[in-house]
Amino acid sequence: MKRVGILSMLLALALLIFDDGALVQAQAPAAAAKTTAWKIQNAMSAAPPSISKDATILDWPAKEGAEPPVLRKGANEWTCLPDDPSSPGNDPMCLDKMWTVWLHALMGKKEPKITATGLGYMLQGGSTASNSDPFATKPAPGQKWLQEQPHVMVLVPGKLDPKVYSSDPHSGGPWIMWGGTPYEHLMVPVK
């Protein structure tokens, strides 16, 4: 009888962890509990395993202007980062080469040199302080954090056309984030 109870509990736990066969990332633990192993696993959850298994894993810099520490050197041209500690949501990401150029420019508050289409994954979703200000560290008074559903991000050389894509993250389709800034990109929901 005990064995049936334990098996039932394990099955219930497995159902909480898996959704439609895909791993659902658990809520990020408290900052003190985030080990290197946890950060690597969390970063890898941002993209399909075929990409993240061989990606370089970086951590967020301890202070503004510092280089992101390498947690694991990869064997492909993708870079993944764990949950951003400055936001309330769980928002790991995996970025291709062009997105990595973009991220370094954003972190240095410099204009990115986008020379090709770029693709980034945030399959756990994310949270952003502002859909219009890339440097906002908290929502404007009276606003809430934008809770993004799982998505891919697309960079293009040049500007996105606001007549084609909305800037409304609640439109149900792709939307432009940080439109009109050098950091604008297309957010494409996947669920």
Residue pLDDT, tens place only, 170-191:
998 999 999 999 999 999 999 8
What confidence score (pLDDT) does residue 125 get?
96
Whether 9 is in a domain gets the answer no
Task: State the distance between the two ends of the chain, measured CA to CA, in whole angstroms.
Answer: 40
Structural domain count, the chain = 1
Whether 84 is in a domain gets the answer yes
Distance CA 30, CA 17 (A): 19
Whether 123 is in a domain gets the answer yes
Which residue in this structure is represented by tokens 């400055």? 86
Query: What range defines the domain where residue 52 resides?
Result: 33-189
H or E element: which one contains 95? strand 93-95
Whether 56 is in a domain gets the answer yes
Whether 12 is in a domain gets the answer no
Residue pLDDT, tens place only, 8-49:
322 232 222 223 333 334 344 444 558 999 999 999 999 999
Whether 37 is in a domain gets the answer yes
